[in-house]
């Protein structure tokens, strides 16, 4: 449903006072056009200005994205009579890719009489792999060094977007085929789960920029626009943000704080076992009794299986109390990487993208920048 918010007299007075009426008349050379309408593709409500201030920050979180320039690994590897199926290295898009990548991993299974599998890792990849195995009649035990809420998957913003999953331009045709299949499969699964009270919802995104087309740097919007409904480039006057341009689309937002515990509950309910246990080396893995082991250890695969292409990319988030009036996502614009996600557990303000950094302590300067830039942007909104 398309919903328009009509400018009222008070809005025009505010604009006139700010001296920016001409900017709001976007694209209209004469300036003679009816009142500007902000078209919202999803929400019935007008845009609300988030109240952003350092004093409202409840906590910060830091996580390390398991990035591989060549993209994530899904493949079987034999160690004697044990089959290890890898499913790791999804960078900044592990929530996004999860169901699809895990589907590819489970598809590597040979037909065995002994249908017992061990899954290493209790993040999104381990949990979705375990669920898919159970659906195929396998008995599953998860071994994970850390469990929710202490995995990287718990730190994820949860936006459905394959951001920094591989180094653009370096992808092989084989990887791209795998990536696209996983992307579409995941999209299908999450789309069907949206709006059912399990932490998956459609949300409006606004990429704010000074120049037209700039947000198109997000390659996936160009290549698979059908996965991001309602894409439109909004000119000045067609949106309430202070940046001149806003690229809008809908995407899914998956809330880890709801989604991960729910998946764990489903796995246990279906007879699965979840154990907190670290694999200290390959010997531990090969000593497991199951004939098949799924390696969903994320960044842990660097140590455990010697994958030196895996690189941590540090991210940092600041949270404010949830505000149900704020029901849209923004990306940019201001100093550094910026994004705001409205979630049930708080308004999430990001971000940071530090390749090779692996310290887990929050950095006060980064938090200060994130809050300052988002606050500046919020105060400049025309609402």
Ligand X SMILES: Cc1cc2nc3c(=O)[nH]c(=O)nc-3n(C[C@H](O)[C@H](O)[C@H](O)COP(=O)(O)OP(=O)(O)OC[C@H]3O[C@@H](n4cnc5c(N)ncnc54)[C@H](O)[C@@H]3O)c2cc1C
Question: Which residue in 259, 382, 249 sits closest to 328, CA to CA?
Answer: 249
Which range binds ligand X by CB under 6 A, 132-140, 177-185, 266-274, 297-305? 297-305
Binding residue for ligand X, selected from 50, 71, 93, 244, defined by CB under 6 A: 93
Question: Per CB under 6 A, does 297 bind ligand X?
Answer: yes
Q: Is 344 helix (H, G, I), strand (E, B) or coil?
A: coil
Per DSSP, the chain holds a count of helices (H) and strands (E) of 11, 17
Nearest residue (CB) to ligand X, 92 versus 332: 92
Q: How far is CA 51 from CA 11, 137, 156, 211, in A?
A: 19, 49, 23, 26
Question: Per CB under 6 A, does 120 bind ligand X?
Answer: yes
Q: How far is CA 163 from the centre of its chain?
A: 8
Q: CA quadruple 354, 360, 361, 362: dihedral positive or negative?
A: positive
Nearest residue (CB) to ligand X, 245 versus 341: 341
Question: Per CB under 6 A, does 312 bind ligand X?
Answer: no
Question: Per CB under 6 A, does 121 bind ligand X?
Answer: yes
Burial class (CB in 10 A: 0-12, 13-18, 19+), 196: exposed
Nearest residue (CB) to ligand X, 126 versus 240: 126
Question: How far apart are alpha carbons 64 and 311 in whole angstroms?
Answer: 9
- Angle between the N-to-C axes of helices 124-135 and 94-107, in degrees from 0 to 180, rounded to the nearest 10: 40
Question: Per CB under 6 A, does 123 bind ligand X?
Answer: yes
Binding residue for ligand X, selected from 103, 106, 118, 296, defined by CB under 6 A: 296
Which range binds ligand X by CB under 6 A, 10-18, 24-32, 87-95, 214-222? 87-95
Binding mask 145-184 for ligand X (x = CB under 6 A): xx----xxx-xxxxx-------------------------
- Residues interacting with ligand X, by CB under 6 A? 63, 65-66, 88, 90-96, 120-126, 143-146, 151-153, 155-159, 278-279, 296-300, 304, 315, 317
């Amino acid at each position: 449903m398309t919903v328009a918010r009509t400018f009222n007299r008070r809005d025009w007075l505010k604009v006139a006072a700010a001296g920016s009426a001409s900017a709001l008349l976007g694209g209209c050379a004469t300036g003679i056009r009816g009142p500007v309408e902000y078209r919202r593709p999803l929400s019935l409500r007008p845009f609300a200005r988030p109240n952003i201030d350092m004093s409202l920050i409840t906590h910060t979180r830091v996580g390390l994205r398991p990035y591989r320039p060549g993209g994530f690994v899904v493949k079987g590897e034999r160690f004697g009579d044990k089959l290890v199926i890898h499913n790791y290295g999804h960078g900044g898009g592990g929530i996004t890719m999860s169901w699809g990548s895990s589907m590819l991993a489970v598809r590597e299974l040979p037909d065995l009489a002994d249908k017992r599998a061990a899954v290493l890792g209790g993040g999104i990849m381990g949990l979705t792999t375990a669920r898919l195995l159970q659906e195929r009649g396998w008995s599953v035990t998860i071994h994970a060094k850390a469990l929710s809420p202490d995995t990287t998957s718990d730190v994820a913003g949860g936006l459905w977007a394959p951001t920094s999953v591989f180094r653009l331009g370096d992808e092989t045709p084989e990887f791209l085929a795998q990536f696209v299949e996983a992307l579409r499969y995941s999209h299908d699964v999450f789309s069907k789960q949206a709006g059912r009270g399990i932490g998956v919802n459609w949300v409006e995104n606004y990429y704010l920029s000074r120049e037209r087309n700039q947000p198109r740097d997000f390659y996936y919007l160009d290549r698979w626009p059908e996965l991001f409904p309602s894409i439109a480039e909004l000119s000045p006057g067609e949106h309430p943000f202070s940046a001149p341009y806003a690229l809008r689309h809908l995407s899914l937002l998956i809330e880890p704080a709801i989604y991960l515990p729910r998946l764990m509950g489903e796995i246990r309910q279906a007879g699965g076992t979840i154990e907190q246990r670290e694999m200290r080396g390959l010997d531990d893995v090969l000593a497991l009794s199951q004939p098949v082991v799924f390696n969903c250890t994320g960044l842990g695969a660097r140590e455990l299986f010697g994958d030196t292409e895996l690189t941590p990319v540090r991210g940092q988030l600041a949270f404010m109390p949830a505000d149900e009036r704020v029901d849209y996502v923004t990306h940019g614009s201001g100093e550094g990487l910026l994004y705001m996600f409205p979630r049930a557990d708080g308004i999430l303000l990001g971000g940071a993208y530090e390749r090779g950094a692996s310290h887990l302590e929050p950095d006060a300067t980064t938090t200060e920048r994130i809050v300052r830039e988002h606050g500046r942007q919020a105060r400049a909104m025309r609402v």
